[in-house]
Amino acid sequence: MQFDILTIFPELFASPFEEGILRRAIAGGHIRVNLHNIRDYATDRHRMTDDRPFGGGEGMVMKPEPLTAALEKVRCDGEPGRVILLSPRGEPYRQRTAERFAGQARLILVCGRYEGVDERVARCCIDEEVSLGDYILTGGELGAMVIIDSVTRLLPGVLGSEDSAKNDTFSRGLLKYPQYTRPRVFMGMDIPEVLLSGDHAAIEQYRFVESVRETLRRRPELLCGKTFSAPERKLLQQVGLLAEVTAAAERHAQ
């Protein structure tokens, strides 16, 4: 998969791609990451990529000419790619968005800056806008890193275990169950006995119940519209969680 990043600060991306899973994914040929400096497409001697907004107001706006020129050049090189603008007004980024992006051959990530980009660029050159959440960052670079990291780990062969991504938090709409490792007893607390039983079916059931319990306690809104299989509902009934889960789902559906 190929990622193209359009930014005025390409140096910000040096470290993330030299560590951990992303470094291994690049070395293994699972992903390619190309950085494009928008300033290289500015035609004035100061390489300006921003200007004051028409109508007045605070801050600056990314100019349309350099950004459009950069996009045209990048889109012409290689196969078509989906153009994503990192913007506070975009759709909230979710795990299902990452899964959808993982099905693309190429993503072109435009890192917004200042008060945003000229609206004509947003309307004519951008396929969709994405936001990490309801807060403001100094630019879209961190958002681009998040997208690349979250999408890359979904690609076949990137993680050590094919089940790792499938069992992640949010992958099935629930928070992940609590995890434990050695030592068995720490600060006077032992791990749940079922995890030592060797009974894989019992462990799977325990983890499912704890996943639902964690979701109910921390993020009950995630249960809205969530469907469970008949065996799962029966198990939740047995441990006394089904009524709580149903009530939470109904409450957040209102």
Question: Residue 109 carries which side chain, given as an amino acid letter?
Answer: L
Are 246 and 220 a contacting pair, CB within 8 Å? no
Residue 34 φ/ψ, nearest 5 degrees: -115, 130
Catalytic residue among 88, 149, 214, 233: 88
CA 89 to chain centre: 16
Query: 122: closest CA among 78, 79, 71, 80?
Result: 71
CA dist 252 to 24, 34, 249, Å? 41, 42, 5
Catalytic residue among 82, 153, 219, 233: 153
CA-based Rg of the chain, rounded to a whole angstrom? 23
Catalytic residue among 40, 51, 149, 168: 168
Quote the CA–CA distance of 63 and 60 in Å, as a whole number. Answer: 9
Question: Residue 81 carries which side chain, given as an amino acid letter?
Answer: G
Q: Is position 153 annotated as part of the catalytic site?
A: yes
Q: Is position 192 annotated as part of the catalytic site?
A: no
Residue 5 φ/ψ, nearest 5 degrees: -115, 125
Catalytic residue among 40, 51, 99, 115: 115
Are 131 and 92 a contacting pair, CB within 8 Å? yes
Q: Is position 168 annotated as part of the catalytic site?
A: yes
Tokens read off for 185: 């007893």
Quote the CA–CA distance of 153 and 193 in Å, as a whole number. Answer: 31
Quote the CA–CA distance of 8 and 50 in Å, as a whole number. Answer: 10
Catalytic residues: 88, 115, 153, 168
